[in-house]
Chain A
Amino acid sequence: MALSIEDIKKIAHLARIEVSEGDAAATLSKLTGILGLIEQMQAVDTTGIVPMSHSQDLSQRLRDDVVTKVNLREEFQKNAPALGNGSSEPAVADGLYLVPKVIE
């Protein structure tokens, strides 16, 4: 599968990573190399082999449905990111984390 520079830009945008024009070309060749490796692996006959979804051959441990967490809002909100408007204060108000306005 051949990737284009447009694919690189789209993937970068979806991941919210800024990739400069110069870096895009280098990233393209690296990702193309990775896809080449995957193509090699796809040539192996895997009939009858259950796809691996985890590197450890274990099953998920379950937790009892009991409240164990206490309210640490004040502690957590001391570490909230600042607004980016020059202020270094955590962006919180009325117990809410503040972010730039989101409108759907």
Chain B
Amino acid sequence: MEWEVVIGLETHAQLQTKTKIFSGASTAFGAEPNTQACEVSIALPGVLPVLNKEAVQCAIKFGLAVNAEIAPRSVFARKNYFYPDLPKGYQISQYELPVVGKGAVTIQVPAAGKNAAYEKVINITRAHLEEDAGKSVHGAVEGMSGIDLNRAGTPLLEIVTEPDMRSAAEAVAYAKQLHELVQWIGICDGNMQEGSFRCDVNVSVRKKGSEKLGTRREIKNLNSFKFMQQAIEYETNWQIETLEDGGTIQQATILFNPDTGETRAMRSKEEANDYRYFPDPDLLPLEVTEADKAAVRANMPELPEAMKARFEAQYALSGYDASALTTSRALADYFVAAVDAGAEAKQAANWVMGSVSAKLNAEDKAIHDSPVSASQLAQLLKRIADATISNNAAKQVFEAMWAGEADVDVIIEAKGLKQVSDTGAIEAIINEVLAANSAMVEEYKAGKEKAFNALVGQAMKASKGKANPAQVNDMLKKKLTA
């Protein structure tokens, strides 16, 4: 029996505002407990929420970035439930009329094993503004839980997708893309350790070819892409095994345990899910005009899609290269800085996606932590372009720069990597090689093309790899046909 997994994501992105969504209390991370919990945050009787303009603008920015409909009129609603970290007894959210409607994100799913990389459009159902809850702290006092309401009221944008993903790899690719996008447009710092970007993943399975969705289970609060991958894979297998053994899937909220790599049910959703939403009478409808949208648009950075198109046109890059370079703004900035510092664009693209990315991945570093700056890389590529060093020698220089040596020319000099382009010197080497390998020369003249490559190899070896390969090729060909 062939099964298909169906995945949808709900992502909570904490918006980068100075203050809370409904009050002027600071949202700075890491403050002493409850020092940023004002009367609105702790829900003293009689307080009223006043909506933060910046939070609304962040939501509009996101909507514009995913080509979504932005509601001219949206409504805040109360989501009612009881929990100690929610002192009002309800969370202010948006329900029937969210600020951001249908949109879409195009993801790049990386190659895996035999499967080639591919692009896929993931549809966004909606994105709505809401407030975060506080935090429960356990263990401070025996038998009690401590409540810190500093986080209560922090603005969140909850971004909901259609159930469009069909593998853990697609879900992770979407989450990574969204993570880059919210940072790109400057609405979220993307810090997953601090909980600024958290994903809930809805997973269900069905027989391949079936149109009907299976019963879903929701994996809550995943704060790393690695855990997301593991959790979805485990959950998918668990659901398939359960169904194949004749069992049924109950709708449930589940947690992933990174230590065991397993998922387990948190609570039955049936009762807890009755949130009895209704419009919050403390807040008037939110209106967004065309002028509001235009003002936000005017302050938006160039978006990845637009930058990709520009890279293809301006730098004559392939669509693949342009996509890869615009997966993050920092990577794109690094590439542009290298080109601006004199590197040839195609070569800079190859190096940024090749040696630089490989090193960064191996050391789990971000591009802005690269020990080799964009201008250093440009300097190195200029030395390849002006034939001072070969591509192979450049790799050695790059290694040395990565290890902390700064100056390209000093490294080339110190390591003796300078390429020999002096015609006289190369001619002398070739003459020696031809004299010492007369058998090969005969073979070549008899029509064996391979012998030519062997002779080039001998000449390169004789020059200790320093001869300019292009020149060796040219000169050797001339000599042999003379």
Please report A residues at the B interface, Cβ cutoff 8 Å.
Answer: 14-16, 53-56, 58-69, 71-73, 76-77, 91, 93-104
Which 4 pairs of residues, A with B, have the shortest CB-CB distance? A96-B146, A68-B24, A65-B54, A62-B53
Q: Which residues from chain A contact B287 at a C-beta distance below 8 Å?
A: 59-60
What are 23 of the A-B contact pairs (CB < 8 Å)?
Answer: A16-B82, A16-B89, A54-B279, A54-B281, A54-B285, A59-B286, A59-B287, A60-B51, A60-B286, A62-B51, A63-B51, A63-B52, A65-B19, A65-B52, A66-B24, A69-B36, A69-B38, A71-B35, A71-B36, A76-B34, A76-B42, A99-B144, A101-B143
Which B residues between 260 and 294 are near A, CB-CB below 8 angstroms?
A: 266-267, 274, 276, 279, 281, 283-287
Q: How far is the CB of B89 from chain A (nearest CB, A)?
A: 8
Contact check, A14 vs B80: say whether CB atoms are below 8 A apart.
Answer: yes
Chain B contact residues, majority secondary structure: loop
What is the count of residue pairs linking A and B with beta-carbon distances less than 8 angstroms? 128
Contact check, A101 vs B144: say whether CB atoms are below 8 A apart.
Answer: yes
Tell me which of B19, B34, B137 has the highest count of chain A C-beta atoms within 10 A of its own C-beta.
B34
Contact of B26 among A14, A15, A67 (CB under 8 A): A67
Give the CA-CA distance A73 to B39 in the complex, in Å: 9
B348 CB–A CB distance under 8 Å: no
B253: nearest residue on chain A (CB-CB)?
A104
Contact check, B18 vs A67: say whether CB atoms are below 8 A apart.
Answer: yes
Knowing that A60-B287, A66-B24, A69-B38 touch, tell me 6 more A-B residue pairs with CB under 8 angstroms: A14-B276, A54-B285, A59-B285, A62-B56, A95-B33, A96-B137
Contact check, B266 vs A98: say whether CB atoms are below 8 A apart.
Answer: no
**In the complex where A98-B147, A99-B145 touch, is A69 in contact with B23 (Cβ < 8 A)?**
yes
Chain A contact residues, majority secondary structure: loop
B140 CB–A CB distance under 8 Å: yes
Contact check, A97 vs B146: say whether CB atoms are below 8 A apart.
Answer: yes
B42: nearest residue on chain A (CB-CB)?
A76
Q: How far is the CB of B404 from chain A (nearest CB, A)?
A: 42
Give the CA-CA distance A15 to B81 in the complex, in Å: 8
Q: Which residues from chain A contact B24 at a C-beta distance below 8 Å?
A: 63, 66-69
Q: How far is the CB of A90 from chain B (nearest CB, A)?
A: 12
Q: How far is the CB of B73 from chain A (nearest CB, A)?
A: 8
Q: How far is the CB of A28 from chain B (nearest CB, A)?
A: 18
Contact of B145 among A14, A67, A94, A102 (CB under 8 A): A102
Q: How far is the CB of A56 from chain B (nearest CB, A)?
A: 7
- B283-320: contact bitstring with A at CB < 8 Å (1 yes, 0 no)? 11111000000000000000000000000000000000
